[in-house]
Structure 1
Amino acid sequence: MTKVKIGMISFAHSHANSYLQELLVMPEVEIVGIADEERARVEAVTGNHGIAYYEDYHALLAADLDAVIICSENVHHARITMDAANAGKHVLCEKPLGITVSEMRSMIETCERNQVQLMTAFPCRYLPAVIEAKQAIDRGEIGSIIAVKGTNRGTMPGRWFIDPVLSGGGAILDHTVHVMDLMRWIVRSEPATVYAESGKLFHDIPVEDAGMVHIQFDSGVVGVIDTSWSRSKSFPFWGDVTMEIIGTEGVISIDAFAQKNEIYEDDKLKAQWSYWGDRMDSYLVQAFVQSIAEGHTVPITGEDGLQATAVALAAYESMKRKDTIAISELLEA
């Protein structure tokens, strides 16, 4: 078996740990190395699994590998992606793809020029509830879609996520993109206009921790996303991804993380949740590896990442101007 050789760049985002666990159990994958300028972030995983450590990701890119998975701070996504593409490596990049439209365009163009794949990490597409809902909608079971209401409410992550210099934004940028990608995928229409409101309602931090993002699609469908870091430390689970899709002939409600057990223990004094269902990160990583191995286009492209992130960026512009923003204004600038 010819193995797909993969390197990982940065464990700044906690999703890197999940992706690593999935790679470790894939017989068709060889993990060449992990690069992170902060050795303490990866020392345990490199030591426990005997994976080569690189302080400088450029040295990892010079090694014999096919692809990289990037989980750095948001502000570094574009630079690392373009360096990887110029080195001839395929890329799976953590969301949001970038923090400006221009840099995301450059990421896509650099990958295309170097004939490498760029995939955006939107694992929610692989959740069973989401897949079943999309199939039902595609079969016409609720008629024509009129409106979609979504939520992505989580725990405030702290660290670099609340430093706008490294993150590019707060809860709106962090939590709009997952649900926005699902809306685009299910509605099969591009967002046309955005109006948003935000606030610091739950934490004293430098960025917003709550927002409401309103979208109108080219097709006329309207959507709204409740995006927040509103879950307290005592909340039994980190957050949610939900959608209510309203059609002319019915409604579909999605609780994307509903595959869970609720556990009550006297010594813990609060409910604990554990999963019994499918692992969305597993399907995401498998799809990336399979696309590289078989030479076909990745299922969630850089363009998908750009379009979803552009809505979050338009939300910030809407709040700045206190007005509705046309997405085309950002994309054509």
Structure 2
Amino acid sequence: MKIGVMSLAHLHALSYIGLLGARPDVELAVADPDAGQRPPGESGGRALAERLGVTRYFDTYEDLLGWGPDGVVICSENSRHRELTEFAAAAGTHVLCEKPMATTVADGEAMVAACAAAGVHLMVAYPVRFSRQFRALLATLPALGRVIAVAGTNNGKLPTARAWFADPVLAGGGAVMDHTVHLADLLDVVLDGAEAESVHAVCNRMINATAPVETGGLVSIGYPGGVIATIDCSWSVPEHYPTWGGLTMRLIGEDGIADMDAFAQAVHGFSESSRAPLRLDFGAGGDAAMLKEFVSAIRDGRRPQPDGESGLRSLRIVARAYESVRTGEPA
């Protein structure tokens, strides 16, 4: 099966390329024609692709799609997801799009419509729902009884490796845009696709007062049946912390409580030579299982999950969060 990667703007592309390139059933190709537009010092283009072991590189997206891929993984800046999705759909190619699926609900709806009209799949890259930790959390649901509240955190470092993450146009926002959607997607699974009834959010730039976007945020969501969920989506992890950040989720049911820490599988220590903490991660993560779902769905001719509609529900929460920040009222 032929799978292409469109853009290396998002650093998740490096993981996807490594995993896809290791699969014997996948022919991999990459195109990153926008690399020259990035700030000095940011990697990309043919040089990065070759460093990652990619042997088939195309200079344009047109050439990549002309190669005839069965599917593509879009890893561009958020604001360019719609354009590349529509381009791929018009070529009859299935799409796995990096999260968030778009910067506006209108763009997300257009992506769903374009893929539906072309008869191709649209999947959104939410790897945490494929993690062993989340699957274990779901297994506790029968014992918890009716879920009445959820508390989630998705914290990370200020994303300095790619300047576009803090660009309000290219990213569509800051921490609220970047780190709300993963937990919103997990809520989508836990609550069987229920649409949010209300969203109340606050944000600030306390972590970096000069940033052009918010660096901290808290989103509160009301769901049908009186379920309340909160998401701490801040870029609040110190620059020199041993890891990028993490994601946690607590489910509170009528009959019990269950906790998940998606990135807790690690050995901790201390280095005498560097006078710094050590961390050795051994968790598998969800990227491989997510890519397996995408490839398998193409092969089996079935709709992958999470699909475009799932991505839209998460994106609507983000859009309503920003509206709440603007008005100071629930949206």
TM range (shorter): over 0.9
Equivalent residue in structure 1 for 2:216, among 201, 210, 221:
210
The aligned residue for residue 168 of structure 1 is 172
Which amino acid is 2:278 matched to?
Answer: Q
**Structure 1: gaps (5+ residues):** 326-333
The answer to whether residue 196 in structure 2 is matched with residue 196 in structure 1 is: no
CA distance, structure 2, for counterparts of residue 222 and residue 232 of structure 1? 29
Deviations 1:45-99 (CA, angstroms, capped at 9, x unpaired): 4324252322321221122211110000000000100110011000000000001
Deviations 1:260-285 (CA, angstroms, capped at 9, x unpaired): 11132212221122221223111111
CA distance, structure 1, for counterparts of residue 24 and residue 269 of structure 2? 34
Contact 1:175–1:228 at 8 Å: present in 2 too?
Answer: yes
Deviations 1:271-316 (CA, angstroms, capped at 9, x unpaired): 1222212231111111111111111110210111111111111100
The aligned residue for residue 330 of structure 1 is none
Contact 1:147–1:223 at 8 Å: present in 2 too?
Answer: yes
The answer to whether residue 31 in structure 2 is matched with residue 34 in structure 1 is: yes
The answer to whether residue 57 in structure 2 is matched with residue 53 in structure 1 is: yes
**Structure 2: gaps (5+ residues):** 37-42
Contact 1:11–1:36 at 8 Å: present in 2 too?
Answer: no
Greater than 4 Å deviation, 4+ residue runs = none
CA distance, structure 2, for counterparts of residue 265 and residue 38 of structure 1? 37
Which amino acid is 1:27 matched to?
Answer: P
Shift in Å, 1:255: 0.7
Q: What is the root-mean-square deviation of aligned Cα atoms in Å?
A: 1.3
The aligned residue for residue 132 of structure 1 is 136
CA distance, structure 2, for counterparts of residue 61 and residue 263 of structure 1? 47
Name the CA shift for 1:268/1:89 in 2 (closer, same or farther; >3 Å): same
Equivalent residue in structure 2 for 1:284, among 263, 279, 290:
290
Q: Any residues of structure 2 matched to 1:99-138 within 5 Å, and which? A: 99-137=103-141
Equivalent residue in structure 2 for 1:10, among 7, 16, 24:
7
CA distance, structure 2, for counterparts of residue 279 and residue 145 of structure 1? 25
Contact 1:38–1:55 at 8 Å: present in 2 too?
Answer: no
Name the SS of the counterpart of 2:246 in structure 1. coil
Name the SS of the counterpart of 1:234 in structure 2. coil
Which amino acid is 1:155 matched to?
Answer: K
Equivalent residue in structure 2 for 1:252, among 254, 258, 261:
258
Matched positions, count? 320
Deviations 1:203-240 (CA, angstroms, capped at 9, x unpaired): 12000000110000123210010111011112121111
Name the SS of the counterpart of 1:182 in structure 2. helix
The aligned residue for residue 295 of structure 1 is 301
Name the SS of the counterpart of 1:76 in structure 2. helix
The aligned residue for residue 328 of structure 1 is none
Which amino acid is 1:191 matched to?
Answer: A
CA distance, structure 2, for counterparts of residue 210 and residue 26 of structure 1? 38
Name the CA shift for 1:132/1:310 in 2 (closer, same or farther; >3 Å): same
Q: Any residues of structure 2 matched to 1:60-79 within 5 Å, and which? A: 60-79=64-83
TM-score, structure 1 normalization: 0.93
